[in-house]
Amino acid sequence: MASTGGERPWTWRAADAEDFPVQARLFNACFGKTKDTDTFRWKYELNPHGPAVSRVALNTDGDVVGGYSYVPRWFRRDGKRLLLMQASDAMVDPSARRQRIFTGLDDIVCEAVGADGVPWVYAYSGRLSYQGFLRNGWQDIGQALVYRYRFKSARGLARMGRVAKVAGLASGLLDAQYARRDRRLARYDQDVAAVTRVTRFGPECDELFEATLPAVGLVGERDHAWLNWRYIDNPGRRQECWMLPAEGGGAPLGWLVAEFQGGNAFLVDHLARDDEVRARLLAAFTSMAHARGMHEATALLFRHHPAVPLLTDLGYAPPRRSKLFRDSFPWIVRACCEDADDADLSIDRWHLADGDRDAEHMSP
């Protein structure tokens, strides 16, 4: 149903499959990417947790000049199943900016999902939309930090601004120190040999998720249908999935998802039966990154995630200055209905190792 949105000089309607090409065009124009129609069909239509709630804005000529979507995700809240939404692809054509399209569509989609009883929408905010989110009722409840293991120094030194050229003179010495340190990674070759490449996640992974489900807090379901959709069937084909199988078959001991792109190895997601398995998975990931000649390995995690101390033991370091949108990313939420419990505004209640961040965002 179209709406004038009060004083807004635009109308809106629910998006459908015919809008995928223009949504791709808008996304590429806004974010400098080269996504195609298949990306939006995959994200908005094929998600096993449900279709996206998607709206587009139209100018007075009826042309689509903006788009915004919430993508559904089943969670467990204190053990009980609950549908939440992830904000995605807030985009406005350059010719139609400063007309409150972003905030207007956010309100429209939020109201729609709230009417269906969805309590929260969440996101890792990007730089361009952060202030707009906060002005529109979203709350920044904490940050995820980028934990880095550097194999080569050039990338890190290049981030030092005005002194980057001078600092770059030290890269040879630093790289030699890193090389001596990294010789110990050979001890993890047995962990690399123990993991196997995943071509499809099977129902046995559902058992692993249930076995590792925290009793308190919010955690996104990682059933095998969602895992295949998110990491195997996505059009970008950027992720690699690896599994640590259990002896004798059955539910795996754990799995990890990683990207090796542009010199950066990024730990996208992982799930482990216990800390011993988690340590083996993280060691295998780090050893893989080193063997492939990556500049650095990174993981984006909340401070309370159980992987953090294990990564620290491996040699990963938290950011020293924590520059927003480079070394840390805000975790933001918005209440969609009155049933949203303020207890969920504590960052410690969110247990996620996945999100919409990937190597494409982590690379400079």
Query: What pLDDT score does 87 carry?
Result: 94
Residues 107 and 183 in one domain: no
Residues 195 and 262 in one domain: yes
Strand pairing category for 264-272 and 296-302: parallel
Query: What pLDDT score does 128 carry?
Result: 82
Query: What pLDDT score does 153 carry?
Result: 62
* Angle, alpha carbons 304-268-197 (nearest 5°): 125
Domain boundary among 118, 136, 159: 118
Q: Cα(316)–Cα(320) distance, rounded to whole angstroms?
A: 12
H or E element that contains 22: helix 20-31
Q: Cα(5)–Cα(7) distance, rounded to whole angstroms?
A: 6
Residues 357 and 249 in one domain: yes
Cβ-Cβ contacts under 8 Å for 141 (sequence gap 6 or more): 331, 332, 333, 345, 346, 347
Instruction: Answer whether residue 72 is part of any domain.
Output: yes
The closest of 321, 70, 354, 296 to 285, measured between CA atoms, is 296
Instruction: Answer whether residue 6 is part of any domain.
Output: no
Give residue 39's domain range: 11-118
Q: What are the φ/ψ torsions at residue 204 (nearest 5 degrees)? A: -65, -25
Residues 262 and 324 in one domain: yes
Residue 68: which CATH number? 3.40.630.30
Query: What pLDDT score does 83 carry?
Result: 97
Query: What pLDDT score does 186 carry?
Result: 87
Q: Cα(158)–Cα(143) distance, rounded to whole angstroms?
A: 24
What is the DSSP annotation of 100-141? Answer: SHHHHHHHHHHHHHHHTT--EEEEEPPTTTHHHHHHTT-EEE
pTM of whole model > 0.85?
yes
Residue 48 CB-density burial (10 A; 0-12 exposed, 13-18 middle, 19+ buried) = middle
Task: List the structure tokens of 182.
Answer: 């990294």
Determine how many CB atoms are found less than 10 A away from the CB of residue 49: 20
Residues 199 and 94 in one domain: no
Residues 67 and 212 in one domain: no
Q: What letter represents residue 310's amino acid?
A: L
Residues 24 and 97 in one domain: yes
Q: What letter represents residue 127's amino acid?
A: R
Residues 222 and 90 in one domain: no
Cβ-Cβ contacts under 8 Å for 67 (sequence gap 6 or more): 15, 19, 22, 23, 26, 27, 54, 55, 56, 57, 89, 90, 91, 105
Residues 262 and 299 in one domain: yes
What is the DSSP annotation of 35-97? Answer: --HHHHHHHHH--TT---EEEEEE-TTS-EEEEEEEEEEEEEETTEEEEEEEEEEEEE-GGG-
Instruction: Answer whether residue 133 is part of any domain.
Output: no
Query: What pLDDT score does 152 carry?
Result: 78
Residues 192 and 110 in one domain: no
Instruction: Answer whether residue 126 is part of any domain.
Output: no
Sign of CA dihedral 39, 42, 44, 45: positive
Residues 181 and 286 in one domain: yes
Sign of CA dihedral 90, 346, 355, 115: negative
Determine contact, residues 174/153, Cβ cutoff 8 Å: yes
Structure confidence by residue, pLDDT tens digits, 112-148: 999 999 999 999 988 888 999 999 999 999 999 999 9
Residues of the chain scoring pLDDT < 70: 1-6, 153-170, 354-364
Query: What pLDDT score does 161 carry?
Result: 60
Instruction: Answer whether residue 52 is part of any domain.
Output: yes
Instruction: Answer whether residue 136 is part of any domain.
Output: no
Instruction: Answer whether residue 5 is part of any domain.
Output: no
Residues 186 and 320 in one domain: yes
Q: Cα(278)–Cα(340) distance, rounded to whole angstroms?
A: 33
- Give bridge partners of residue 71 from the DSSP assignment: 86
Residue with tokens 């090796």: 260
Structure confidence by residue, pLDDT tens digits, 193-230: 999 999 999 999 999 999 999 999 999 999 999 999 99
Q: What letter represents residue 193's amino acid?
A: A
How many structural domains does the chain have?
Answer: 2
Instruction: Answer whether residue 264 is part of any domain.
Output: yes
How many residues are present in the chain? 364
Query: What pLDDT score does 157 carry?
Result: 55
